[in-house]
Amino acid sequence: MSDAPPVRLVSAIVPCRNERGHIEAFCEAVLAQRLPPGVLLEVLVADGRSDDGTRDWLVAFCADNQAPDRRFVLVDNPGRIVSTGLNAAIAQSQGDVIVRLDVHTVYAADYIEQCLQALDKSGADNVGGPWKAEGSGATQEAIAAVFQSRLVAGGARSRQLDYDGWVDTVYLGCWPRATFQRFGGFDEQLVRNQDDEHNLRIVRGGGRVWQSAAIRSTYRPRARIADVFRQWRQYGYWKPFVMKKHGQPGALRHLVPAIFIAALAGGSAFALAAGPWLAAWALLPLGGLLLLYAAYLGAATLDVSRGLPPSTADRAGVLLRVPAIVAVHHLGYGLGSWRGWWDAAVRGRADPAFGRLTR
């Protein structure tokens, strides 16, 4: 009688487009994953018609990596966005467990092993780890530090690195195949927020999502402030479409940036509309708002400073960039939200200009 553990096939799904500078290191890292006994891994890379050499490299790499315990498969993603890529990979996957991986993320050697343990212990419909960001150089380090700040993130559990427990969403995710059979795949109308929407669908449908601090990975954020603005404008734009689909107003942290934009616009309009005899008084609401926001930026910078690792080389340079990056988060998300509400509620359709994924 054999004591060998039963074979368990895990399918890793990886959306990818124009990642020639990152895909090789990512695939090598996946090959280095420490898998539990009896676990076989298939890695389905859904390429969104890359035109930078990524696809050619993947064709050759997948052909050379067909080992029974670690097999790479190239999946075509004509939709070119994350949600269509995830669904295409799921459709071709064969595993009883599906784990999502991102090319711009660095994984602990036991990442998949910890996902499986959390899934088995919790009985959840989706498990994942916290969303940890790290950068290189003062600007990207500041972007990562702002991303990690709970004061900026509005208390989102997904940014709390030591939290174990039930949550409303997790970074990336690991699911039993039955989760997709029960709740469906990712919404292909959403360029952003497709993971949050899917988790919302799970929770509203009676399912559960678990976060484990033992599932460790590190995300590489955007390296330029202008790219952060575009990214968060997209996040803000697509959130109203999720709200409309599920008939929910969203959490307060999703609404505050849009409220700030409205208050800023209203205060400015009031000041401009006032006659010269009321000019000084008319500036009071706008001035008060800006003073409050300046105080918030100071508090956010202090919060970020407390969370900076001791190894940060240019601490002053990082902290000097924090106020601008925080403001870019809020302005991008707020402006995107207002445009998204207009398109979702009034026009009834998304603007194709927001359909192109930014990186």
Same domain (yes/no): 217, 236: no
Same domain (yes/no): 27, 135: yes
DSSP string, 214-274: TS-EEE---SSHHHHHHHHHHHHHHHHHHHHHHT----HHHHHHHHHHHHHHHHHHHHHHS
Position 60 pLDDT exceeds 60: yes
- Place 1 in a pLDDT band, splitting at 50, 70 and 90: very low
Structural tokens at position 83: 């949600």
Same domain (yes/no): 152, 123: yes
SS3 label, residue 15 = strand
Same domain (yes/no): 336, 247: yes
**Mean pLDDT over each residue of the chain, to the nearest integer:** 90
Same domain (yes/no): 207, 238: no
Same domain (yes/no): 271, 144: no
Asked if the structure places residue 3 within a domain, the reply is no
**CATH code of 99's domain:** 3.90.550.10
Same domain (yes/no): 218, 233: no
Structural tokens at position 353: 């200009």
Sorted by sequence, the CB contacts under 8 Å of residue 178 that are 6+ apart come out as none
Asked if the structure places residue 88 within a domain, the reply is yes
Same domain (yes/no): 45, 164: yes
**Which residue among 179, 206, 223 closes a domain?**
223
Same domain (yes/no): 176, 269: no
Asked if the structure places residue 158 within a domain, the reply is yes
Measured CA to CA, the distance from residue 59 to residue 18 in angstroms comes to: 14
Measured CA to CA, the distance from residue 330 to residue 232 in angstroms comes to: 8
Of the candidates 116, 101, 99, 126, the one whose C-alpha atom is nearest the C-alpha of residue 202 is: 126
**Which residue among 223, 239, 274 closes a domain?**
223
| Tens of pLDDT, residues 270-326 | 777 776 666 666 678 888 889 999 999 999 999 999 988 888 889 999 999 999 999
Same domain (yes/no): 75, 186: yes
Same domain (yes/no): 321, 244: yes
| Tens of pLDDT, residues 197-237 | 999 999 999 999 999 999 999 988 889 999 999 999 999 99
Asked if the structure places residue 4 within a domain, the reply is no
Report the 10 Å Cβ neighbour count for 265.
Answer: 12
Asked if the structure places residue 2 within a domain, the reply is no
Domain assignment of residue 255, given as a range: 228-354
pTM: 0.86
**Which residue among 182, 204, 223 closes a domain?**
223
| Tens of pLDDT, residues 71-129 | 999 999 999 999 999 999 999 999 999 999 999 999 999 999 999 999 999 999 999 99
* Total structural domains within the chain: 2
